[in-house]
A and B are shown apart, each in its own frame.
Chain A
C-alpha cells in the first residue's frame, strides 16, 4: 500500500510538473509580450510627448524671433508677455521666454521668470553663434526639469539676438511617471492572473491524462478486462484513450492465449498421468495374475508414449517459436517422399478399411525443402485424415504445380516464371470440421471433440506443427471442410524459396 501510494504521488508530481512547465512557458511568453508592448508604449509616448514640447518651444521661439526681427517690433522694450498678447493675441502659459542680445546680455524676459534667468550653456551659445538651434534639458535639484530652446535670430547672416524659450517638463514627466507606475503594477498583476488561468487550463487539459494514468496503473495481468472510460468528445485525449484500450485488448488476447495454452498443456499431460497413477495404485492394492499385470503395463506404456509424444511436440514447437530449428533444405523429390509416407500409413488405413489414393500430374516434382520436415508434414496430414474418417472412407492426395496469385501476399515471386509452387491437397471423406472451428484447428491443443481425439491418440499438436513446417518453408496452409462430408487440407509450397 505504501509503495502504491508513493507511486501515485510520484505520478501526480510528474503531472504537476508538466502542468507547471506549461504554465511557466505560457507566463514567460505572455511576459515577454507584455514587457515589449509596455516598453514600446512607454518609449513612443515619451518620445512623442517630448517632441510635442520641443515643437511648441520652437514655434514660439520662431514667432518671437520673427517678431523681434521686424522693424515694427514691439519687442524692443517692455514686457514680452504684454507684447505677445498685443501682437499675437496669445499669452503663453507656462513658457519662460528670454531674449539675449548678440553679446549674450539678457534683454527682455517674460514675467514668470521674475528675477531668475534661464541658464544658457556654452555649447548652446556656440551653436547659436553658428546659427544652429539647440534643445537642452536642464535638470537641477531644486527646480523642476526645464526644456530650453536656444534660437538665434539672424539678420543678414549675422546674429542679432538669441531667443530662449523654456517650458517645464513637469507635466510630461509626471504623465510618463504615472504610466510607468501603472505598467509596473499592471504587468506583473496580469502575469499573475494569467499564470493562475494557465494553471487552470493546464489542469483542465491534463485531467483526462491523470485519469488515464490512474486507470492504466491499476491494470495488471489480473484485470486486463478493464478499460479506460472513453470521453464524450473526440479529441487528442480520446484518441489516446482509444489507443490505450486497443493496446490493452491486444494484451488481454495474448494473455488469454498463453493462459489457455498452459491450461491445455497441463490438462493434456494430467490425463495420462492420472491414468498411470490410478492404474498402478489400483493394481498394487492386491496381488494379481501375470496376465493382468501385462495388461496394466501395456496400458501404462501407451500413456507413457503419449506423454513423450506431447513433450516432444511441445519441445519442437517451443524451439520453432524461438527460431532454434534450422531447415536443412536440399533438392528433394516430393513424389518419392509422399509414396514413402503412404506406404507407411497404409497399415493404419487398412485396419480401418480406408483407401488412400494419390494423384500426381507431373513426373518431376522437385522442390528445395527440408525432406525430414516435409515427411513429417505429409505424415501428420494423412494420419489426421485417417483418424477422422469412418471405416470404408477414403483419403485423396493430389500433387500439382501452380503459380502464386499475383495480387496475393506472396506475389513477390518472379512473374515471368510459370509454376513456382507445388500444391498439395489432402482430402478425406471424414466427419468434417464446423465452420467456427476451422480457423482454430491449427491452434495448439485445440480439439474439436476432446473425447474423440484422445481415443484416436495424438498430442493435439500435429496441425500446429504442420502449420509451422509450412510457414518455415514460406508456404501457406488452409483447410476447407463441410460437416459430415469431409475436410481438405491445402498446402502451397514455393519450389524455389527466396
Chain B
C-alpha cells in the first residue's frame, strides 16, 4: 500500500508541457530523489506535491486523502528550499517553532519541540540567534528542523544543498539521511547532483523533458540504466557504435574488432551502441573477456583515479584506473590494449 501516490500527473505552462504522465507510488518512510537536468520538471513535480502548483490533470493522494487541489497550508507537508527561506525577523527557535505556533500549540510545547529539533540538528546553543548570524550550512539545518518540527507527513527538499560549498554539502547530506532515517519520514528530494541522489536515496526517479526515464534503486539506475539518457546522465559512460554479427549470441563488431555484449535482449541486426562504464575497463588482455586495441589520446588526473582516453577504431573510449604510485602512465600516442568483462557491457 503506497503512502504517497502520484497518478497520471500532467502540468502545462502556457501550452508547453512541463510534466507529462507522471506516476509514482512512494512507501511510508521511503527516501525518493527526483534526479534530472535543469528544466526536466523535477521541481515542478515537487511543487505540485507541496501545493504551490496545481496539476493540469492527474491526482495526488497522501495516506489515502486527495491532496490534488488542497491549498499548501492544509497539506501537512514540510518543505526545505534551496535558499533556506528562514524568516529573518525571527530567531532560530522562533523559526523552528513557527509551524507549531500557527497550529495553535502552547508555548511550552513549542519551546520543548524547538529544543528537541535543535538537539537533532546539533545546534542546541543557537536558538536565540537570528538567521543572519549563521553560516549557510547552519541555516539549512535550521530550515530542515523547521520543516520537521510540526510533524509533517511528508518532507520535501528542493535542491537544499545547491547553495553550499562542496565539503559542507557532503556533511549535510549525511545529516539529512541520518535525520530522515531517525524520524522515518517519507522524503522527496530534488537534485541535479547524481552523487547526492545515489548516496541518499532508497529509490531514484530520473527525469528528462518532463518525463520519467527510469525509477529504481541507486544500484539499478547506475548498473542497469534503462535508456541512453539515464546511462549518460548518471555516471560516466562509454557509448560506441557497433554492428551486430551474431544476434543470437550478442556478438557485435567495432570496426574490425569483435566483442560480446552481456545484455542484448532481442537484436534485429541493425547497428547499435555498446555501453560500458569507464571503471569496468582495465589495461591489458584477458582471455574470455572483451579486448580492444587502440592508441592513447589523453591522460587526465582526477585525484584518486586517472582517466585514460584511448582511440579505438576512431571512437574515444575512456577507462578509469586507481591512482597508485606504482602505476605506469602511458604516453600519448602509445599503442594501448584494454579489456572488460562480457557481463559489464550492454547494448542500447
A and B: bona fide binding partners: no
Residues of chain A having any CB pair with chain B under 8 Å: none
Residues of chain B having any CB pair with chain A under 8 Å: none
